[in-house]
Structures are given as structure tokens and as C-alpha cells.
Amino acid sequence: MTNITDGDLLLKNITAQAPFPICFADLEKAVAEKIEAGPFGYIRSGAGGEQTLRNNRAAFEKYSIVPRFLNDVSNVDTSVHLFGKTYPTPLLFAPVGMNGMVHDEGELAVARAAQFLNIPYIQSTVSTFALEEVAQAAPSATKWFQLYWSTNEEIAFSMAARAEEAGFEAIVLTVDTVMLGWREEDVRNQFSPLKLGYARGNYMNDPVFTATLPDDSFESYVQGVLQNVFHPTLNWEHVRELKKRTNLPILLKGILHPEDAKHAIDNGIDGIIVSNHGGRQLDGVIGSLDALPAIVKVVNGQIPIILDSGVYRGMDALKALALGANAVAIGRPFVYGLALEGQQGVEKVMTNLYDELKVSIALAGATSVKGLRNITLVKQDGTEGK
Ligand SMILES: Cc1cc2nc3c(=O)[nH]c(=O)nc-3n(C[C@H](O)[C@H](O)[C@H](O)COP(=O)(O)O)c2cc1C
Ligand SMILES: O=C(O)C(=O)c1ccccc1
């Protein structure tokens, strides 16, 4: 429970110091000026003509809140309960690969920020640092492991086992990236972080993976990763097999169709992440917030639903929670914070998002995340909504 009269959440940002970018547009601008076009374009862009990227934002912009007043909002409970643990905020770090591209400390810095803020950290398969290194850097952070299936499924099982051994508490199987989306900005910039080796962390020290390589040269690692990471054969049989091979809860990330959410439940999956991969995979896809209501309906509270893709401010988080998400995951905003100021930059971005969310819950007339479900939302024209 946070007493939101403790200190003014906005005025603490108005100090004599040089300001840190306060919103997503300012963050993106600052990072564009700081880092090279290749990595910046890789992070910022969406697939194809970027319709999905625009759909994500449009979906949030379409909804408006009809607030309630006179409801004593001096205490706001922002905590959420996920897989047996309580967290102070409904935020998570979405899995983002290859963080070494923007900061030398890469995932270590992000996991340390996650530990400091008590926000669950989802580490990517294609991270610059190995999951064991992240576990050592942030031993008390809640860590989940995002798994990319592998053409050699023994590698996938090996990584899942290593994650369990290292204290990770869930496996997030991403289902929307069986191959890379059509990313034109990377062609323009002639940029591939995979080819530059930024994704080696979890592969370099995997005994099953390294045993398949002809030698231990840099080129062999990179070629090995490229041969393994894309996995178009992925199907529900693999999901059932994974379930047998791990004791950890399994979430599926990238679910957009209510029927797939239903299949997930039928296959004993423990949670889903409604996501279109931040518009980076298939272009012309439904905005993730637009996909949420139908999924909330079929899931009907049976398993937790996390939403990502386009959550760039506290009000976006509020709308997703009001529409029935249990929590939201943040992608690009924290990567920009990392690029600007390492661990501290990540903490600043997440804290601003959280502070805006807290103020917004209260100003909407709610006093808890659950209470947001009772808040009225209307679509742009004021007709539809919830
Ligand atoms: C640079 C970058 C790398 C990403 N790498 C992964 C990844 O390795 N695994 C994964 O499941 N999702 C990955 N994602 C997708 C994120 O987990 C998340 O779905 C997306 O960023 C959410 O959208 P947002 O950036 O609009 O918040 C990546 C996203 C970005 C921007
Ligand atoms: O860039 C991405 O969005 C991503 O998820 C990915 C997937 C496989 C290899 C490299 C990056």
C-alpha cells in the first residue's frame, strides 16, 4: 500500500539537475542522438511498413477513462500477485535480447535494476550475458527465463534446465518468433546484432550447444546460433514435451487469438503474455490492447494474463489493467533507459512509469489494481467501451 500524499510524485522530477527524459518520445529522441543508427534502428523499428507498431499505440489512444471522484484515494494498493508471490507494482521487464548492443553491462544492469525495484525480470534466450551471470549479478531478483525453441530441441531443454538450476522461477516460451520478421530498417542500416555476436551469452556456455560446433571460433558460435535460434517447426507437441521436462510454470508469449489462449489452458499452460512482439514480427497485426478483451473473456481468470507491446506510460498500463490484464511488461522504454544511463537509467524509466500509474489510478477514482476493473472506459467516439 502506498500513501500517495507522502511526497509529490511529479515535483520530485523538477530539480536543479539536468532533466532525464520524462516520456517515451523524449527518451527515443535522446537515444537516437546518443547511439549509432544500426542499433537504434534495430530497437526502435517494427516489421514491414510498421502498421503493427502504429496499431499498438492507436489501440491505447482509442480508449478514454471516465473517472470517478469523492472516493478517498489517499492510499493506493498497486501490488499484484503472480505465481505465488506478491510484487509492489503490476510491471515486468519484457525479455529483450542482446542488451550488450547499447551498454557494456547489458542484462546485468537491467537485472540489478529489477532487483532494486522488485520487478520481475524476464531474461531473453538471446542475451549478451549468460543466465548464470545474471543470476549471480542479481541473486534476489525474481527472474524468469524466456525460451526460444531450438532446431535441436535438446538445446532448448538444456537451457530450460540451466534456468531452473540457476533459480529462475518460470519459463516464458515465445511463440511468435519462429523466424525473424521482415525488418526493413535493419536492411537499410545493414545491421544484424546476431551476426555481431551479441546473442551468444546463453549459447557460449551451453554444453549441448557447444558440443555441436566444429571449433570454438567466434564464427562457429555465430553460425551455430543462427542455425539454432529459428525454429519454424514449433507446435503444441513441443509445448507438451517442454511441460514434461521442466518443473517451472510455463507462460506462452505472443498470444493474440482467443482460441490459442484456450489451447494454452487446455495444454496446462500457467500464464500467457498477450503481445505482438512490439510490432517487430508480423506487420499488419492487431494492436495487443485490441486483442486483450476477447482473451480476457475466454481465460476467465483461470491463469494470469500479462500484456506487452506499446505500454509507454503509466496511463497505458492503467488501461490494460482496467481491461483485465493482471500485469504489463515493458520493452523499449527500459532499453532506452539502459542506453542512456545504465542501471540508473533503467530505474528512472521504470520509476517514472510507476509513479504516473500510481497518480493515474488515484485520479481515475480507484484505490487498487483490482479496483481498476470497475473503472469506465469508452472508445474514442464515446460509444463503445467497458
Ligand atoms: C530490441 C528488442 C529485442 C527483443 N528481443 C526479444 C527476445 O529476445 N525475446 C522475446 O520474447 N521478445 C523480444 N522482444 C520483444 C519484447 O519482449 C516485447 O514483446 C516488446 O518489446 C514489447 O513492446 P514494446 O517495446 O512496445 O514495449 C524484443 C524487443 C526489442 C525492442
Ligand atoms: O529482435 C527481436 O525482437 C528478437 O526477438 C530476436 C529473436 C531472435 C534472434 C534475435 C532477436
ipTM for this model: 0.99
Would you call 174 helix, strand, or coil by DSSP?
A: strand
Residue 136 lies in a domain: yes
The mean pLDDT value for 54-71 works out to 97
pLDDT classification of 13: cutoffs 50, 70, 90: confident
| Dist. CA 72 → ligand 1 center (Å) | 38
Residue 384 lies in a domain: no
Residue 2 lies in a domain: no
The mean pLDDT value for 92-102 works out to 98
What phi and psi, each to the nearest 5 degrees, are found at residue 18?
-60, 130
Ligand 2 cavity residues, CB under 6 Å: 97, 126, 177, 194, 199, 229, 277, 280
| Three cell numbers written together for 274 | 498477450
Rounded Cα gap, residues 337 and 28, in angstroms: 9
pLDDT score, position 6 = 52
Give the chain's domain count.
1
Rounded Cα gap, residues 20 and 31, in angstroms: 12
How high does pLDDT run on average in the chain? 96
Helix, strand, coil: what percent of the chain each, to 5?
45, 15, 40
| Dist. CA 185 → ligand 1 center (Å) | 16
- Tally of CB atoms within 10 A around 224: 21
pLDDT score, position 27 = 98
Rounded Cα gap, residues 293 and 261, in angstroms: 12
pLDDT classification of 15: cutoffs 50, 70, 90: confident
**Which residues, other chains included, contact 364 with Cβ-Cβ below 8 Å and sequence gap of 6+?**
65, 67, 68, 318, 372, 375
pLDDT score, position 220 = 96
| Dist. CA 180 → ligand 2 center (Å) | 7
pLDDT score, position 9 = 83
If one compares 6 and 110, the residue with the highest pLDDT of the two is 110
User: Is the pLDDT score of 12 beyond 90?
Assistant: no
What atom of ligand 1 comes closest to residue 124's alpha carbon? 8
In the annotation, is 238 catalytic? no
Residue linked to cell 480507484: 366
Residue 172 lies in a domain: yes
pLDDT classification of 8: cutoffs 50, 70, 90: confident
347: part of which helix (H) or strand (E)?
helix 332-364
| Cβ-contact 80, 326 below 8 angstroms | yes
Residue 86 zone, left/alpha/beta (φ > 0; ψ -120 to 50; rest)? beta
| Dist. CA 186 → ligand 2 center (Å) | 12
| Cβ-contact 129, 202 below 8 angstroms | no
Residue 385 lies in a domain: no
Residue linked to cell 500513501: 3
- The ligand whose atoms approach the alpha carbon of 280 most closely is 2
Rounded Cα gap, residues 281 and 50, in angstroms: 10
| Cβ-contact 123, 138 below 8 angstroms | no
Going by alpha carbons, the residue nearest to atom 1 of ligand 2 is: 97
| Three cell numbers written together for 4 | 500517495
CATH number for position 240: 3.20.20.70
pLDDT score, position 35 = 98
User: Is the pLDDT score of 4 beyond 80?
Assistant: no
> pLDDT of 204-250, one tens digit each?
999 999 999 999 999 999 999 999 999 999 999 999 999 999 999 99
Rounded Cα gap, residues 77 and 81, in angstroms: 12
Ligand 1 cavity residues, CB under 6 Å: 43, 94-97, 124, 126, 146, 174, 253, 275, 277-278, 280, 308-311, 330-332, 335
Residue 342 zone, left/alpha/beta (φ > 0; ψ -120 to 50; rest)? left
Residue 386 lies in a domain: no
Domain containing residue 197: 9-379
299 residue type, one letter: V
Q: 198 burial class (0-12, 13-18, 19+ CB within 10 angstroms)?
A: buried
| Cβ-contact 318, 372 below 8 angstroms | yes
| Cβ-contact 355, 314 below 8 angstroms | yes
pLDDT classification of 383: cutoffs 50, 70, 90: low
Among 120, 125, 121, residue whose Cα is nearest residue 157: 125
Would you call 322 helix, strand, or coil by DSSP?
A: helix
Residue 106 zone, left/alpha/beta (φ > 0; ψ -120 to 50; rest)? left
pTM of the model: 0.97
Q: Which of 54, 147, 172, 280 to mutate to test the pocket of ligand 1 (most atoms within 8 A of CB)?
A: 280
Q: Using the CB atoms, write b or e for 48-63: b if 16+ within 10 Å.
A: bebbbbebbbebbebb
pLDDT score, position 18 = 73
Rounded Cα gap, residues 269 and 273, in angstroms: 11
Residue linked to cell 502498421: 51
pLDDT score, position 1 = 64
